Structure 1
Amino acid sequence: MDLDSALRISAAGMQAQATRLRVVAENIANQDSTGSSPGADPYRRKTVTFANRLDRAAGVELLELRRIGTASGDFPQTHDPSHPAANADGYVKRPNVDSLIEMMDVREAQRSYSANLAVLETTRGMLTRTIEALR
């Protein structure tokens, strides 16, 4: 593998993890966002799916965002008859966002981003030393 390919691969990985971090940040920001009318659905957790894409020009597979979807499943409910989104029985649907899961996703994305950054920096250093050797 040449150095240009290494740069492309690590840059694509960093871009994918940055998108993942933005989606997780949105989930955390909306973990308390309930519906605005009685019985309305609250914020639904977003998920990120990645895929490999062949870059024919470089001859390497790159990581890319496949899609941003939503998590399925039921919403947890709490009893709060005074809430504007409470149904007839006094229950409010809460978002299906678990802060522990989101924080684990943040850590994993940070580590992946850091690993790709380290590859990028190492490759850049190798390119710099190669150019200096050619002078």
Structure 2
Amino acid sequence: MSEPAPTGLVLGPLEVEIMNVLWSARGPVSVRDVLDALNSTRTTPLAYTTVMTVLSRLADKGAAARTKAGRGYAYTAAVADEAALAVREVIRGFGAAAVAHFVDEARNAPDLMARLERLMQEGDRK
């Protein structure tokens, strides 16, 4: 059985909540759409400007993509999940050394190493 994925490694708690809205959206969403989704389950509502600021920071981090929509922006998730963002940040920060350490760690986990080898072979075919 696999372990649950950790959350909050790269993103703060509110950022994770907002990304969950983006990940579950069927298309681009406005700040108001995200605000309404978040506030539908909260006892203390968030302010529009709070959600707008966090979405802007998520775009700056590369976790969300934004496109001009009228006078504001529409947002979509730019990464598949938090793990993708974490890996990208580690590789940006440490480059080839991070990849080498990852492979060393994978060697100690046969299932992970087998998956890595499969992914590498699939990549060669593309």
TM-score of Structure 1 vs Structure 2, range by shorter chain: under 0.3
Higher helix share: 2
TM-score, normalised to structure 1's length?
0.27
Structure number, greater radius of gyration: 1
Normalization by structure 2: what TM-score? 0.28
Q: Which has the higher contact order (CA 8 A, sep 6+)?
A: 1
